[in-house]
Amino acid sequence: MRILIIVMNAYQRFVRPLLFRCDPERIHEQTLALAERVGSSALGRHLLSSLFAFADARLATQVGGLHFANPLGMAAGFDKNGRVIQALAAMGFGFVEVGSISAHPSAGNPRPRLFRLPLDEAIVVNYGVPNDGAAVVADRVSQRPIAVPLGINLVETNTGQAIEPDAIVAELAAALVPFVERADYIAFNLNCPNTTGGVSPFTGGEHLRDLLRECAAIDDLPPVFLKLTAHTDPARLDWMLEAVDPFAFVKGFIFNLPPGTNYPLRSPAHLLSSLPGTLCGRPVQALIDETVRFWYGRIDRQRHAIIGVGGISSARDAYRKIRLGASLVQLYSALVFRGPGVVRQINAGLSHLLERDGFARVADAVGIDNQAKAAV
């Protein structure tokens, strides 16, 4: 842990200030290129593992029929094209989610489309889901096996034009097919704020059922998670649960962030008013925590699990989401602001918190602080 502290201090005191002088997307691309090279060699993966991975049996858990060595995953958005899954797995993530990926390649929105808010430890994303397309990414990840579950996040192709609901359903099903033999789970990005402004045909149950019926006809379908805009609307949740009820392969839910930057922030208002896109990072923590609390109190916990993502930058952040009802958690922005050492820091911290509270395994802590648990 002493080496970890040195690495994290060096990143935050010396490396990050230099990186933050440069264009965010350019730095992200260079980071991916470096991680791709390091992750492609056994020596590189061993180095990453020795620096950033942390193992403890109490962190292991089963979700959706899959085994996770720890509950901390890399969220979609960081590795859009499956280039650095080997590096991320070696760093100690319990699972890696790639994407969002569409059936057809997409260039995404014009640049600039990624912005930092250092005062808030947040980023504003307006990428428009650029990606190489399902066929290319499926071939790439097939050649880069990893020892942790691989999630594939699928989205409609961002053409800038309105698409008929039936066409979106067909496109998402087609995007899934190349990943059947490779993905450990599929995450359907149903309300991507960078393609539809958070509004999609899946806001109502009819088209969602159509999509799930298409999936049901696919052989060897992996577990499916549905990613939708965070909310605490009982009626909206009820139709979602009604729509998925006939489909046992739906194993749970992940929450997208609504578009915009409407949060209490330290960054100057004049700066925020000019930024398009969706805010991610520490300021969204309360929104996602409340969403996790709300959904956990209403889902069938024998069938469905929650993956909590948004505002996690410490073990306490992750533990709070777990205790509210998240079986797994993900991060992204924390990697930008805290550096790669945050993976080991969070997993080691979770282990300590579980031991402190007398939990033999992480699953025992899921939902412990949710009042709805007592009603079940």
Name the pLDDT band for 8 (thresholds 50, 70, 90): confident
Lowest mean pLDDT among 76-85, 136-145, 166-175, 264-273: 264-273
**What element of type H or E holds 142?**
helix 134-142
- Per-residue pLDDT at 196 exceeds 90: no
**Which has more pLDDT, 196 or 61?**
61
Contact 158, 102 (CB under 8 A): yes
CA angle at 352 for the pair 95 and 72, rounded to the nearest 5°: 10
Q: What is the pLDDT of residues 207-258, one digit of tens each?
A: 899 999 999 999 999 999 999 988 898 998 998 899 999 999 999 999 988 8
Supply the range of the domain harboring residue 186.
2-375
Q: What is the CATH number of the domain that holds 210?
A: 3.20.20.70
CA angle 309, 353, 322 (to 5 degrees): 30
How many domains is the chain partitioned into structurally? Answer: 1
What residue has token string 């109190």? Answer: 297
Is residue 172 within 8 A of residue 120, CB to CB? The reply is: no
Q: Are 325 and 369 in contact (CB under 8 A)?
A: no
From CA 163, how far away is CA 100, in angstroms rounded? 18
pLDDT tens track for 140-158: 999 999 999 999 999 988 8
Q: Which amino acid is at 160?
A: G
> Please, are residues 182 and 138 in contact by the beta-carbon 8 Å criterion?
yes
Q: Strands, E, within the chain: which ranges?
A: 61-63, 66-68, 72-74, 95-101, 114-117, 122-125, 150-154, 185-189, 224-229, 250-256, 278-281, 305-309, 328-331
With cut-offs at 50, 70 and 90, classify the pLDDT of residue 204. low
Strand partners for 329: 72, 308
Asked if the model's pLDDT at residue 358 lies above 90, the reply is yes
Report the residue count for the chain: 376
Average pLDDT over residues 341-358: 96
Active site residues: 192
pLDDT at 373: 59
Question: How far apart are alpha carbons 219 and 247 in whole angstroms?
Answer: 14
